[in-house]
Structure 1
Amino acid sequence: MSLTIIKPGLLDTLQDLGRPGYGGLGINRGGVMDRYAAQVANMLVGNEVREAVIEIHFPGAQFLFEQNTLISITGGHFNAMLNDEPIPLWHPIVVRKNAVLHFPKLQNGNRCYLAVHGGFCVPQWLNSYSTHLKAGAGGFHGRKLEKGDEIPFKESSIYFAGLLKPGKEFEALKWGVDTGSTYLHPNEIFFIEGNEWEQLTYQSQKAFLQDNFTVHPFSDRMGYQLKGVDLHRSANTELVSSAVSFGTIQLLPNGQLIVLMADHQTTGGYPRIGHVISAHLPKLAQLRPSDVIHFIKTDITNAEQLLIAQQQELNILQRACTERLNSLYVKH
């Protein structure tokens, strides 16, 4: 069985944690923008973290569930509802067949993630389920989801109807995830110096650290264009194109900045003045156009410690979710 798109959203695609290892062929990693939220969504429904999820932008699609299943929604808060009843984020939720999920109101964040127990049954492209829109490959026929699309689920032996109370279309299970530490101070983004940081003039370095920058409306999955004070290098020498990554902060010729996101190109010739630390990429991914960013410089040691702490939290969470779900299946 499957879910069906009964009304398309702005940009809803199947994504996973991406396809690393193909940069030498000019194929970027891609994948979800908020890797933390996507991993947690899969954990809550008992999946491996690399299973495909649906990345949803507001206004989101409307989904019809054609079988009883277990779902979770994480990331941005779009006031998710099942049959016009609000459902909680960051919780596992048992859904009855023929229930309709929709997202009527933006509360905060820029994208949310829908996971289903077992995952979505779609073919991989280069070892990943992620949609590569430029190549028209991966995901669901290499494109965003449209009205009438039916996305099959992988097989499950769990009888989810036994977890539903009579007359109820869904049941939110009793546990959830506290994400306070991951998204704390959402506008404060830590970065480490890039190769061309020292090429900035002293005044530009000072302005970058003291001033705020605003996310431009033209921002997308390839990069966030930022509006702020013009920054300058001491000498405008040409650079050889070099490797870039998710979170690289580049200085454009007009003095403005761009932060590369999940669908970034594999190389770039603009000065790399910094890199957003990996632990803060989830916060960055949830910023919307007109949101403000304040960059805070840190070092590699602190960046590594924050990432290790975040990964340890995910490991603990995965074990806890597995234990909870296993006990539930045994009980029923």
Structure 2
Amino acid sequence: MSILILRPGVLDTVQDFGRFGYSHWGINPGGVMDRSAAGIANLLVGNSKSNAVVEIHFPGPQILIEQTTLISICGADFTAMLDDHELPMWQPLLVRRNTVLHFDKLVSGTRAYIALHGGVDVPHWLGSCSTNLAAASGGFEGRRLEKFDRLLQGENRFYLSGWLKEGDDLRKLAWRASVKALYDDRHSISIVPGPEWDLLTKTAQEELLENNFMIHPSSNRMGYKLKGPILERTNNDELISSGVIFGTIQLLPNGQLVVLMADHQTTGGYPRIGQVIAAHLPKLAQLRPSDCIQFTRTSVAAAEQLYFKQQNDLNVLEHACNTNLKNVVC
């Protein structure tokens, strides 16, 4: 089972949930930018939520489906099309061999995820299938996808061809994920104070929480540079470099902020004045350059409660999807 890239998009890579335990070697976790969208895409087609997927940006790729398979597309809405049929998001789709998947128009979001039943089958590097472009390793040959690249699927658990009636190019299975709560109030991003929060003056702390910050056009998978009021420090003493993670907010020497994203460096010497809560990283990942962010302060306890609720919802979805798929097969 395979798919063939007929025309690459602006940035298409194979990603999973990342590789952990190698930061002391200078190798960051990487992985998908939006774990919720990628995880849901996998669950809808009967995979483990951390299976490898294709992360795409707009303009998106044109892909030949070489064998009948089950797919789902989650995350940003790029108006997915199968030949001449517009495809729904957040729903499992049975697609026939020799049809072409393409993306016509940017509607919302920044990153979409294509999940294939069985996952994308690429070699593991340091325990992960994620593409590390800086190291030219992992994913598909350590690089973004190019024309005529062929991606293999993992093990097929079901006889999919038998689900399509003769003449049908597409079958929409009768369930979908509801994700309104995940991306609701998408510009409001909750944070907890970071280790160097008190290096901000009281006025700067207030300005951080009272003003909007615009995502700079040069932002990418490594970090979102933000444009907003200049935030002052209580002192300008140099700091010893310390560990950073996805969602760490650093204060730059010019008083502006950067939010570290999936491809962040492993250490940094700038003050870590805040941390985006894990439950809000998915909606942060779907914001685009020129979008504005409003930070709100929350507690660690509230952040944990929201995260655990999200994970519980995913567990419920996983059980429902697996049950539905088994019923369809039977």
- TM-score with structure 2 setting the length: 0.99
* Inter-partner Cα distance in structure 2 for 1:186 and 1:154: 34
Question: In structure 2, what is the equivalent of residue 209 of structure 1?
Answer: 209
Question: In structure 1, what is the equivalent of residue 269 of structure 2?
Answer: 269
Change (3 A) 1:72 1:7: same
Q: The residue matched to 2:325 in structure 1 has which SS?
A: helix
Change (3 A) 1:157 1:279: closer
Question: In structure 2, what is the equivalent of residue 324 of structure 1?
Answer: 324
1:10-49 equivalences in 2 (<5 Å): 10-49=10-49
Q: The residue matched to 1:181 in structure 2 has which SS?
A: helix
Change (3 A) 1:157 1:195: closer
Q: The residue matched to 2:181 in structure 1 has which SS?
A: coil
The answer (yes or no) to whether the contact 2:118–2:157 under 8 Å persists in 1 is: no
1:212-251 equivalences in 2 (<5 Å): 212-251=212-251
Please list the CA deviations of residues 144-202 of structure 1 after superposition, one character each: whole Å capped at 9, or x if unmatched: 00001011112325222222233221111110000011111000000000011111111
* Inter-partner Cα distance in structure 1 for 2:48 and 2:174: 21
* Inter-partner Cα distance in structure 1 for 2:172 and 2:205: 49
* Inter-partner Cα distance in structure 1 for 2:247 and 2:321: 30
* Inter-partner Cα distance in structure 1 for 2:230 and 2:129: 39
What is the RMSD computed on CA atoms of the aligned residues? Answer: 0.8
Question: In structure 2, what is the equivalent of residue 92 of structure 1?
Answer: 92
Question: In structure 2, what is the equivalent of residue 175 of structure 1?
Answer: 175
* Inter-partner Cα distance in structure 2 for 1:164 and 1:289: 41
Please list the CA deviations of residues 127-149 of structure 1 after superposition, one character each: whole Å capped at 9, or x if unmatched: 00000000000000000000010
Percent identity over the alignment is 56
* Inter-partner Cα distance in structure 1 for 2:311 and 2:283: 15
2:84 aligned with 1:69, yes or no? no
Unpaired segments of 5 or more residues in structure 2? none
Q: The residue matched to 1:97 in structure 2 has which SS?
A: coil
Question: In structure 2, what is the equivalent of residue 107 of structure 1?
Answer: 107
Q: The residue matched to 2:295 in structure 1 has which SS?
A: strand
* Inter-partner Cα distance in structure 2 for 1:169 and 1:181: 32
Amino acid at match of 1:184: D
Q: The residue matched to 2:9 in structure 1 has which SS?
A: coil
Amino acid at match of 1:14: V
* Inter-partner Cα distance in structure 1 for 2:48 and 2:236: 47
* Inter-partner Cα distance in structure 2 for 1:144 and 1:69: 23
Amino acid at match of 1:290: S
* Inter-partner Cα distance in structure 2 for 1:155 and 1:213: 45
Cα distance, 1:49 vs structure 2 = 1.6
Question: In structure 1, what is the equivalent of residue 3 of structure 2?
Answer: 3
- TM-score with structure 1 setting the length: 0.98
* Inter-partner Cα distance in structure 1 for 2:178 and 2:96: 26
- Number of positions where the alignment pairs a residue of Structure 1 with one of Structure 2: 330
* Inter-partner Cα distance in structure 1 for 2:33 and 2:70: 23
* Inter-partner Cα distance in structure 2 for 1:164 and 1:183: 33
* Inter-partner Cα distance in structure 1 for 2:186 and 2:120: 31
Q: Where has structure 1 moved over 4 Å in runs of 4 or more?
A: none
Unpaired segments of 5 or more residues in structure 1? none
Amino acid at match of 1:288: R
